[in-house]
Structure formats: structure tokens, C-alpha cells
Amino acid sequence: MTEMFLELKKPKDYDCGYNLDLMIDALPRVEGHEERQDYAKRIVGLIKQSHPNWVEDDGQSRLAWDYFFELAEYNPKDFGVTNPFDNGEFDDAR
């Protein structure tokens, strides 16, 4: 018999909660490069909201991006997601 509900486990980050884990797990299923990058920005935006002390005055956060890449059980780069700090781009994740 197929289970109806997702197996619950402790969230990887208590401040962000279980939804962050679900969002990170869903990213590889998002179709299109731009859509995946935008989705990654939403994930990082949630991390920034949950950890405001990681965000610089200009709204950027290398720590939040690094944390996203650390939490993912896959390499986001394999799905075309880039860390703006690796490319010298502005971090506009909100």
C-alpha cells in the first residue's frame, strides 16, 4: 500500500523549518534554467529572513548562499544553479 503522507523528520534548520527542506528537495524538479535559479533565490530569501544576522546592510548574504549549497543533498550546480558570489554578481535573493 502506498503511503499518503510524507515521512516527517526533523528539519535540517529549525529557524527555517521543514518547508525549507521541501523547497530544497523540489528544486531539481523545477523545469528551465531561469526558473531553477529564481527558485533558488526564493530558498535563499527564506534563509535570509530566518537568519537576518547573516545579511549585510546592502541585502547580500554569502553565508545564506553557502548554507543553501551545504544543506542540499545534491550539487545545485549540477542543475544550473549558481552562487552569485562565485561569479561576482549581486545577490538579489529576497
Q: Is residue 93 one of the residues assigned to a domain?
A: no
Q: Is residue 44 one of the residues assigned to a domain?
A: yes
- Give me the domain span that covers residue 73: 18-87
Instruction: Please count the structural domains in the chain.
Output: 1
Q: How many residues does the chain have?
A: 94
Q: Is residue 31 one of the residues assigned to a domain?
A: yes
Q: Is residue 13 one of the residues assigned to a domain?
A: no
DSSP 11-51: -S-TTT-HHHHHHHHHGGGS-SHHHHHHHHHHHHHHHHHH-
pLDDT exceeds cutoff 60 at 1: no
Q: Is residue 12 one of the residues assigned to a domain?
A: no
What are the pLDDT digits (tens) for 29-50? Answer: 999 999 999 999 999 999 999 9
Q: Is residue 50 one of the residues assigned to a domain?
A: yes
What pTM did the predictor assign? 0.84
- Sort residue 9 into left (φ over 0), alpha (ψ -120 to 50) or beta: beta
pLDDT in the model for residue 83: 97
Task: Give dist(CA 88, CA 39) in Å, integer.
Answer: 20
Q: Is residue 7 one of the residues assigned to a domain?
A: no
Q: Is residue 6 one of the residues assigned to a domain?
A: no
User: Where does the pLDDT of residue 12 fall: very low under 50, low under 70, confident under 90, or very high at 90 and above?
Assistant: low
Task: Give dist(CA 64, CA 55) in Å, integer.
Answer: 8
